[in-house]
Amino acid sequence: MAIERTLILIKPDGVKRQLTGQILSRIEAKGYVISELKQVLATRELLEAHYEEHVGKPFYEPLVEFMASGPLVAIIAEGHNVIPGFRSLAGTTDPTTAAPGTIRGDLGRDWGLKVQQNLVHGSDSVESAAREIGIWFA
């Protein structure tokens, strides 16, 4: 059984709202191992590398501004099927429609801003996880 690794980010809204402990508890309660963790104030350069596939899209600039607006927590989590498992735990991107029991469904909401502030990011594939881990934990 192969162990996957994924990048999880607790975004600035999660840190600002002091939800880091609750989010980490949910990850650990699911049985995933947090192998690395650090608090970061992301630079524009770091965020440009992370979001390079979104350059030119209407939400790109507001997203980069939001992600640079305060400290965030970068995590490497490990476990069998951790990538789809964490994405399920996080819930859908829109907190308004995210299912109860998920991080976004229980703790998030739509604030009516230019970009969705939805507490967490999780890699969407093994390839994305490897690329993102390389960016955040170089």
Spatial CB neighbours of 107, under 8 Å, sequence gap ≥ 6: 14, 17, 19, 22, 23, 95, 119
Catalytic pick among 50, 54, 80, 121: 121
Which structural domain range is residue 97 located in?
4-136
Amino acid identity, position 29: A
Strand order across the beta sheet in which 33-40 lies: 33-40, 72-79, 4-10, 120-122
pLDDT of 2 strictly over 90: no
| Residue 98 pLDDT | 96
Provide the number of structural domains found in the chain: 1
| Residue 94 pLDDT | 94
Tokens of 82: 């951790």
Taking Cα atoms as reference points, which of 32, 15, 33 lies closest to residue 69?
A: 15
| Residue 113 pLDDT | 87
- In this prediction the pTM is 0.95
User: Are 80 and 96 in contact, with CB atoms under 8 Å apart?
Assistant: no
Give the chain's mean pLDDT.
Answer: 96
121 has catalytic annotation: yes
The pLDDT of 61-87, averaged and rounded, is 97
CATH number at residue 58: 3.30.70.141
If you write DSSP's letter for every residue of 11-66 in order, what string do you get?
-HHHHHTT-HHHHHHHHHHTT-EEEEEEEE---HHHHHHHTGGGTTSTTHHHHHHH
pLDDT band at 42 (very low <50, low <70, confident <90, very high): very high
The pLDDT of 97-108, averaged and rounded, is 97
pLDDT of 137 strictly over 80: yes
User: Are 6 and 77 in contact, with CB atoms under 8 Å apart?
Assistant: yes
